[in-house]
Amino acid sequence: MKVLQVNKLYYPHIGGVENHVRDLAVGIKDWVDVRVLVANTSPIGRTETIDGVEVTKVASLGRFRSAPLVPTFGLWLKRLRSDIYHFHFPFPTGELAYLWARPPGKLVVTYHSDIIRQKLLLRAYTPYLRKFLASADRIIATSPNMIEHSPFLQNLKEKCTVIPFGIDLKKFELTPDIKEKINQLRMKYGPRMVFFLGRFIYYKGLEYLIVAMKEVDANLVIAGSGPLEQELKKMVAESGLKRKVNFVREPRDEDIAAYFHACDVFVLPSVERSEAFGIVQLEAQACGKPVVSTNLTTGVPFVNLDEETGLVVMPRSSTALADAINKLLEDDQLRMKLGAQARARVEKEFTRELMAERVLKLYEEVTRYE
């Protein structure tokens, strides 16, 4: 069976969806002939092999409202003939290219998120979006919450199958090397460490977390980068929090596990539905850490169960964030209990192997009847 994974970008570009597509491609490559088709970040196209998977990066002329401008994408869809075209939505460039090219294989769509911010463009794009989703043989939703609350999935429930993201647990094993890095981080940031990892963008709600730290006796490590970086650093300086709020560049792959293991609490303070799942929650939970997250109408509270794997609070409330963080920091027994339960749930429901198994089963179902 030939499978083509289609997304905006791919590793080494870092992002939640990109990490997922990479994990999925690697997870299924021993069972199907999988290739990846994405846009390049330059006007030069290239094909390379990454983790044993052939990745074609099509020449791009730039971006418009975060969508890559890739004029030849439809031609590549026709060229890379496949039994299954597995698209990762939203990717307007790719979806329009599909509607033009109409390649003959089955269409599977993983619906990662609603389009939230570009409301005017969404109004114009909606007819094509609906046509694309109507063309799908099956739609993968990453949580039941997404099917229930997405205006574009509510009328397509019969096509939807819930398959949550899964992660590679081996990346988060407590090795001797990781233990040494944990000791170094603890020496640097002290005995009480709160951690955030992600892009510095509008829907992450970092401004609320920074304000919350006024009421928390701990050091906060904010790892990542993004367009709001200077604004957030200015906010920290003006709030007199420079001694307890620390910005670091996104850790290398081999160092990420050390940060998760070193922290006491991981916080995902997101404020918009653009945060559709929060894979970083799984990574923290894989390291036995409780999560403080927000009660969005997406998969975020599906991943982090309130009072079971962490604490869930209302969005846009620095007070609620501070109260939840303090509750976990001040109650060792509760923190350890929730962290252990979080690790157990990841092992049971959110491994890369289980995700791959579920996706392969879906592929078999959609190709069973031609």
Q: What is the residue-level pLDDT of the chain in tens, covering all 370 positions?
A: 999 999 998 888 777 788 899 999 999 999 999 999 999 988 888 999 999 999 999 998 777 667 777 889 999 999 999 999 999 998 889 999 999 999 999 999 999 988 766 666 777 778 889 999 999 999 999 999 999 999 889 889 999 999 999 999 999 999 999 999 999 999 999 899 999 999 999 999 999 999 999 999 999 999 999 999 999 999 999 999 999 999 999 888 889 999 999 999 999 999 999 899 999 999 999 999 999 999 999 999 999 999 999 999 999 999 999 999 999 999 999 999 999 999 999 999 999 999 999 999 999 999 986 5
The pLDDT value recorded for residue 61 is 79
What does the alpha-carbon distance between residue 131 and residue 135 come to, in Å, rounded to a whole number? 6
Looking at the structure, tell me whether residues 112 and 216 fall in a common domain.
no
Judgement on whether residues 192 and 202 belong to the same structural domain of the protein = yes
Which pLDDT value is given to residue 42? 85
Report how far residue 16's alpha carbon sits from residue 91's, in angstroms, rounded to the nearest whole number: 14
- Same domain? For 148 and 245 the reply is no
Q: Three-class SS of residue 50?
A: strand
Is residue 135 domain-shared with residue 210, that is, in the same domain?
no
Phi, psi dihedral angles at 194 (to 5 degrees) = -105, 140
Shared domain for 148 and 179, answered yes or no, is no
Statement to judge: residues 161 and 173 lie in one domain = no
What is the tally of structural domains in the chain?
2
Q: What is the pLDDT of residue 142?
A: 94
State residue 11's pLDDT score: 85
Shared domain for 162 and 44, answered yes or no, is yes
Residues 160 and 106 in one domain: yes
Distance between CA atoms of residues 250 and 248, nearest Å: 6
3 closest CA partner among 88, 81, 74: 81
State pTM to two decimals: 0.89
Q: What pLDDT does 252 receive? A: 85
Nearest to 79 by CA among 96, 56, 49: 56
Q: Specify whether 270 is located in the same domain as 355.
A: no
- The domain of 304 spans 169-349
Cα 214 to Cα 217: distance, rounded to the nearest angstrom:
8
Structure token digits, residue 361: 């089963």
Q: What is the CATH number of the domain that holds 110?
A: 3.40.50.2000
Domain co-membership, 199 together with 292: yes
Check whether residue 177 and residue 244 sit in a common domain.
yes
Q: State the pLDDT at residue 214.
A: 97
C-alpha span between 57 and 44 (Å, rounded): 9
Give the pLDDT confidence score for residue 116 in this predicted structure: 66
How far apart CA 303 and CA 140 sit, in angstroms, is: 16
Residues 340 and 218 in one domain: yes
